[in-house]
Amino acid sequence: MREGTAAETGEATASRIAIALGSNLGDREANLDFGRDELAKRGLVWSAVSSSYETAPVGPVADQPPFLNQVAVGETFLSPQALLEVCLSVEQARGRERMIHWGPRTLDLDVLLYGAARVLEPNLTVPHPELANRAFVLVPLAEIAGGWVVPGYNKTVRELLAGLDSGREGVQVWRSSDTR
């Protein structure tokens, strides 16, 4: 092993990441499990997984089943763009069809946070552009990483959650993380 920092030696370092998982079709819990397991097979190492929360759909397509949502925090050596590609591949492997924007889905995987990085690319924005407005993401993220300072906001996840007008409204614990 060479001495020096990763940047000096050219060695890769892992980045801390947060991924939102959601499902409202089929066996929702199995879909979330599949998403986490497949991401782990592709190099993500989970350090914490939130409880599962049930929420009503958000957006213009209201006539659909409720969602089961969860957040997982871990590490990866993948770049943000490669991480997005892996997430899309896992969604597709679980049968996700992108027929209706905001429509029902077997599995939805969103890159919420990638360390302290801000990413602005045509198909990827990190932090997720709706992160600060979505209780169904902030509640599970605060459960496992409430002190994470969100780049661009300079506030912790807990502070963003406390600032939501709706608070935790509509986000109900479905299965606690300590019952898995």
What is the rounded distance in angstroms from the CA atom of residue 117 to the CA atom of residue 6? 17
What is the rounded distance in angstroms from the CA atom of residue 73 to the CA atom of residue 36? 10
105 is catalytic: yes
42 is catalytic: no
Q: Which of 28, 36, 94, 110 is catalytic?
A: 110
37 is catalytic: no
Q: Which of 36, 94, 105, 134 is catalytic?
A: 105
98 is catalytic: no
Decide: 74 and 91 in contact? Cβ < 8 Å.
Answer: no
Q: Which of 33, 96, 165, 178 is catalytic?
A: 96
Q: Which of 2, 108, 118, 180 is catalytic?
A: 108
Residues acting as catalytic residues: 96, 105, 108, 110
